[in-house]
Structure 1
């Protein structure tokens, strides 16, 4: 998960290099075979078995090139479909697995967390982009998902600046050991981006992959 919008290179970028290599082999093989046929000794022509073997190799290289062409087309179609799917999320509220969200300075932010079993104590903490705890309060210890709506104020009740904020839970079990639960963010998709793994969704300045989407709640239904 990235916290800023980046444009990465598609994972299929290696395909042109592979295609170039196959094309070179194809051209070299064709040139070699043609040269052999032109320069063979009429009194001692190339053995039919050798000719068949070379033609089989020729057909194999040609088939690989066609397969790569088809694969390139399929990858292009899949990427186009994924891009279109990402665009359909714009304007909707999505629940994503992660701990980073964007506060716009006006609208409350919704977090979610699920404590592990045997949690005895749990504190909810909100950090600013510098890693400073700006808000902390006691959370529920029951092992189910809980939601928190943060109004954008710090521990003293003062408003905070717009920007990226981090959400975390600090939990302990009955033996006093630290345990880790899951956290999620709910926010409105404001745009899309790209990364090495495919299209991403932007929630303000926070960026999540499509695979991190846990639920789509629709506009206004956080």
Structure 2
């Protein structure tokens, strides 16, 4: 987790600034969860506020937690009505929050990069009130347009990574959510416009994809950049879909 949060700390000033990709996902996620006003909402791995912003707009009482100080400094400045915490040890440790103190815990695009996803989900379960909900993203869906070509590039260059390179791993949502009732999946989407290949490259380097690029040896790294800069963009719409897994903490 140390290496992961340090990467995102470096990216804090540009994260979701090139194009509002995660903000678009955040609106879709909060819309799917539909929290009521006054909901005690915990945003785990809050980043620059993709979930915090729409949750506050719905009248939720938001606590936003991130491991990267650069993220939380900007969160606190942008959202003074939220409670912002820097938890730099990683979410595999116990969250420094009271038990049964939240109605909804959401973790968007974070659980898969943690050292111990199961421990993180267990910690979320502890801080949820009985009947509260936990939501996490997990698993993408087939892409179309130029995004499909971008995915193909990542697959092509993956063999150049050193052992343990890049970050994140495939998650088993059903196993992770075994302690919850009514576990179900909904599909959330993000759609933003990429005007040209320079913006596409800057976007690739402004979030977690950067770990992939930086872990490539110099030759393949330069070739990967060249391919991204030459990728046909079609209508320029970056469209992605993701699974959002939701479970309810038993009331008994």
Same-fold status (TM-score > 0.5)? no
Name the TM tier (shorter chain).
Answer: under 0.3
Which of the pair is proportionally richer in strand? 1
Which of the pair is proportionally richer in helix? 2
